Amino acid sequence: MINVQPLRQSEPIHIENLRKSFHAPVANKEPHYIIKDINLTIKGGEFFILLGPSGCGKSTLLNLIAGFIGKTEGKIALGGKEIQRPGSERAMVFQQADASLFPWLTVRENVEFGLKMKKLKKAERHEISSRYIELVGLGGHADKLPKELSGGMKQRVQLARVLANDPAILLMDEPFGALDAMTRRTMQKELIRIWRQTNKTVIFVTHDIQEAILLGQRVGVMSVGPSSQITDLHDIPLEYPRDLSDPKVLELLGTIQNHFDE
Ligand SMILES: Nc1ncnc2c1ncn2[C@@H]1O[C@H](COP(=O)(O)OP(=O)(O)OP(=O)(O)O)[C@@H](O)[C@H]1O
Ligand SMILES: [Mg+2]
């Protein structure tokens, strides 16, 4: 059994009329907005899913919440405070693990990186990294370099590193997209277990409706871009763990699928 420290619940995220354009403004011309007029409040401790087709702006919205990029117009705040830059209470699990791992560090060194920055003692770092390396199923691979790992294994290293830093808000950008079906299911279950134990806020991006319904308390559906908006919000008031053979799950799957087909 792996123990995870319980944590104080994070503050809510408020988004109002949020717009993002990557182009410089041109006089008398409507900017090319990727996302336009997003309105959303995500409660502290909520497991929220952002679901939408490829290219609609899911990563863009997640990057705005992370503070990696700036908004064009509107409001985006954590608690009462405008998000202007990254913060240690928010951590991102990227779509591409390669973008986040240090290639010259071993699995363990990658996982311990943030702990070292926080000046944790070696023994403590070792204990925490062992716990999370084990959790993501990489026990026995701790001394390998990223180049010796498969894509799915690298993705799990990234997840272990983020979890080891124990952020209050987990921003997850299609984190299990590169995993095989079995590992994916294991990781989904572990994520739910960690979330329930720790009260973290999870904002999880996916384009997989099944994954959305297995994991989320609430699903925000984004429309096709540009000028993408959240066009539907679905509550998923079902117990965990959820099963794809449950008629209630199948019913929701149909409902959300219908919105996509419209
Ligand atoms: N830095 C950038 N500069 C210019 N355009 C960008 C930038 N980042 C994203 N875009 C554009 O914004 C749109 C949305 O991209 P984004 O990566 O947010 O989509 P997504 O929903 O995450 O897609 P996917 O499901 O394929 O990951 C795309 O048209 C993309 O080309
Ligand atoms: Mg994306």
What's the pLDDT tens digit per position in 176-235?
988 888 888 988 998 998 899 888 999 999 999 999 999 999 999 999 989 999 999 999
Q: Is 55 in the pocket of ligand 1 (CB under 6 A)?
A: yes
Expressed in angstroms and rounded, the spacing between residue 246 Cα and the centre of ligand 2 is 29
Q: Is 22 in the pocket of ligand 1 (CB under 6 A)?
A: yes
Most confidently modeled of 3-12, 24-33, 189-198, 232-241? 232-241
Which residues, 6 or more positions from 147, have their beta carbon under 8 angstroms from its beta carbon?
Answer: 103
Expressed in angstroms and rounded, the spacing between residue 1 Cα and the centre of ligand 2 is 33
Contact 54, 28 (CB under 8 A): no
d(CA 156, CA 135): 9
| Of 189, 210, 170, residue with least CA distance to 47 | 170
Q: Give the β-pairing of 73-78 and 81-82.
A: antiparallel
Q: Is 60 in the pocket of ligand 1 (CB under 6 A)?
A: yes
Share of the chain above pLDDT 90, in %: 77
Could you say which DSSP state residue 3 is in?
-
Q: Which ligand is nearest to the CA of 94?
A: 2
Q: Which ligand is nearest to the CA of 54?
A: 1
3-state SS, residue 42: strand
The residues spanned by each domain of the chain are: 1-12+39-67+169-262, 99-166
Backbone angles phi, psi at 141, to 5 degrees: -115, 10
Share of the chain above pLDDT 70, in %: 96
E-assigned strands of the chain? 13-21, 33-42, 47-51, 73-78, 81-82, 90-93, 169-173, 201-206, 218-222, 230-235
Rounded to an integer, what is the distance from CA 204 to the centroid of its chain? 4
Could you say which DSSP state residue 9 is in?
P
d(CA 92, CA 196): 19
pLDDT tens for each residue of 138-151: 999 999 999 999 88
Q: Across all residues in the chain, what is the average pLDDT? A: 92
Paired strand residues for 35: 20, 228
Which residues, 6 or more positions from 4, have their beta carbon under 8 angstroms from its beta carbon?
Answer: 163, 166, 194, 197, 198
Whether the pLDDT of residue 1 is over 70: the answer is no
Class in CATH terms, 1-12+39-67+169-262: alpha beta
Give me the pLDDT at residue 5, please.
52
Which residues, 6 or more positions from 49, have their beta carbon under 8 angstroms from its beta carbon?
Answer: 204, 205, 206, 212, 215, 216, 218, 219, 220
Q: Is 20 in the pocket of ligand 1 (CB under 6 A)?
A: no
Higher pLDDT, residue 68 or 4: 68
pLDDT tens for each residue of 44-58: 999 999 999 999 999
Which residues, 6 or more positions from 83, have their beta carbon under 8 angstroms from its beta carbon?
Answer: 64, 65, 67, 76, 77
d(CA 260, CA 262): 6
